[in-house]
């Protein structure tokens, strides 16, 4: 029988507990379990945004050079890189995840002349599915639905962490399986970045993309990241040609000649305010240490699953800690109404059609007591229903 004192004991032993104070938490009674969709606001982000607004106001256009705004997409990428096991010059932070997917799938198709078949799971996140349909339409490509049989497939787009169940795919094994079939995999790391320990080069990953506004606490609409392995950068042609990717950006009249390195993935003027917020969120996770963050994710999701079992709630989130991300999916036929009822109890989780409640347990901002209180509230509501 788990009781609240167990949660308090886990909080007392939590080496990351102090990081919660690094975040703006105006209502301490609100149990926010949606940091897997939109992470909380780091206090340092508020200061950093004020600072950049002062730069903008005072130094105006010279800020592009004086405050190095010009290179922000790449310097923020270099700060994010260690969270992916990547090196400097392998990550750029810019645009939305959807645009990043569009770029990366096109890059993968263009790596080998004649490529046109893209495989994706029908249960993958909608933007991923829509993006590949749009690409197939533009290029006269073909979509293969499902990933079991990769014969004849050129490019695979897939999420590392299932957005519904939190199941983690086998990064090494599945990258190799696709490669053996002659395909390049583009990994969507949106639900993995900032919560799982990753080493993309060791896993043989060449192309990846992901959000910074979820576990990385980068802020609403924070720009996404694209990773291109150094080993293939010289072969990469991306589809959105813009002046930030030009080898001599201010030469102006020259024909397009892409920069060497990750800079060739850039498009137009970077979103400086969004990048500033993304950078602070990334720094918080880097400083807290991804090994500790990932360890707490395994522990706190395990605690949530134990509570689901105890309260008789159904979950299809994997029980093997190594195979799950940072959220727990509870299934209930009345999930939509339970989601609303939880809000009345000061508990914010999210709902995914048709029957999933996602408990996002962002390790830096979620306490074990939060999980106990939220699951107890859900259990009471289910009993009453
Ligand atoms: C797997 C996955 N990919 C992409 C996105 C979002 O893409 P964008 O940042 O372009 O809205 C999400 C959002 O939740 C997601 O879960």
Map out the domains of the chain as residue ranges: 4-32+290-384, 46-287
The C-alpha atoms of residue 346 and residue 32 are separated, in whole angstroms, by 8
Query: Residue 385: what pLDDT?
Result: 60
Kindly list the catalytic residues: 125, 188, 213-214, 358
Q: Which atom of ligand 1 is nearest to the CA of 98?
A: 10
* pLDDT tens track for 158-182: 999 999 999 999 999 999 999 999 9
Same fold, 4-32+290-384 and 46-287: no
The per-residue pLDDT for 384 is 73
Packing angle, helices 368-384 and 4-12, rounded to 10? 160
The atom number, within ligand 1, closest to the CA of 224 reads 9
Please say whether the beta carbons of 211 and 160 come within 8 A: no
- Beta-strand relationship, 225-228 and 31-32: unpaired
pLDDT at site 253? 86
4-32+290-384 under CATH 3.90.1150.10, yes or no: yes
What pLDDT is recorded for position 383? Answer: 86
Residue nearest to atom 7 of ligand 1 (CA): 97
pLDDT at 357: 97
**Unique residue bearing structure tokens 């050129």:** 154
Number of CB atoms found within 10 A of residue 36's CB: 28
Residues whose beta carbon lies within 6 Å of some atom of ligand 1: 96-98, 125, 127-128, 159, 163, 188, 190-191, 211, 224
Q: Which of 104, 163, 189, 213 to mutate to test the pocket of ligand 1 (most atoms within 8 A of CB)?
A: 163
Which stretches of the chain are DSSP H helices? 4-12, 43-59, 63-66, 72-80, 97-110, 126-139, 171-180, 272-288, 290-310, 335-344, 368-384
Class (C level, CATH) for 46-287: alpha beta
In the predicted model, residues of the chain with pLDDT beneath 50 are: none
207-210 and 184-188 as β-strands: parallel, antiparallel, unpaired? Answer: parallel
């Amino acid at each position: 029988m788990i009781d609240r004192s167990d949660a308090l004991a886990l909080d007392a032993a939590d080496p990351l507990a102090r990081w919660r104070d690094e975040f703006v938490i105006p209502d301490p009674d609100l149990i926010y379990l949606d940091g897997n969709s939109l992470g909380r606001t780091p206090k340092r982000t508020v200061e950093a945004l004020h600072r950049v607004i002062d730069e903008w106001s005072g130094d105006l256009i010279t800020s592009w050079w004086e405050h190095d705004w010009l290179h922000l997409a790449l310097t923020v990428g270099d700060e994010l890189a260690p969270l992916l096991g990547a090196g400097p010059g392998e990550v750029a932070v810019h645009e939305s995840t959807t645009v990043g997917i569009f770029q990366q799938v096109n890059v993968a198709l263009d790596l080998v002349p004649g490529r046109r078949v893209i495989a994706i799971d029908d249960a993958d996140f909608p933007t991923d599915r829509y993006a590949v349909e749009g690409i197939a339409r533009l290029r006269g490509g073909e979509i293969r639905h499902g990933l079991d049989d990769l014969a004849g497939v050129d490019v695979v787009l897939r999420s590392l962490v299932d957005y519904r169940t939190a199941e983690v795919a086998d990064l090494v094994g599945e990258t190799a399986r696709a490669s053996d079939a002659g395909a390049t995999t583009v990994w969507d790391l949106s639900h993995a970045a900032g919560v799982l320990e990753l080493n993309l080069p060791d896993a043989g990953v060449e192309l990846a993309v992901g959000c910074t506004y979820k576990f990385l606490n980068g802020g609403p609409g924070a720009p996404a990241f694209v990773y291109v392995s150094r080993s293939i950068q010289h072969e990469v042609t991306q589809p959105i040609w813009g002046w930030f990717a030009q080898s001599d950006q201010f030469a102006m009249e020259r024909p397009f000649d892409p920069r060497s390195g990750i800079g060739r993935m850039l498009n137009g003027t970077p979103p400086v305010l969004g990048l500033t917020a993304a950078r602070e969120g990334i720094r918080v996770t880097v400083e807290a240490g991804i090994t500790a963050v990932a360890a707490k994710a395994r522990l706190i999701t395990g605690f949530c699953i134990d509570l689901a079992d105890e309260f008789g709630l159904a979950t299809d989130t994997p029980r093997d800690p190594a195979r799950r991300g940072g959220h727990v999916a509870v299934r209930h036929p009345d999930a939509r109404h339970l989601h609303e009822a939880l809000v009345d109890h000061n508990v914010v989780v999210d709902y995914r059609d048709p029957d999933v409640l996602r408990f996002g347990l962002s390790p830096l901002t979620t306490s074990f007591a939060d999980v106990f209180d939220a699951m107890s509230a859900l259990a009471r509501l289910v009993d009453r229903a």
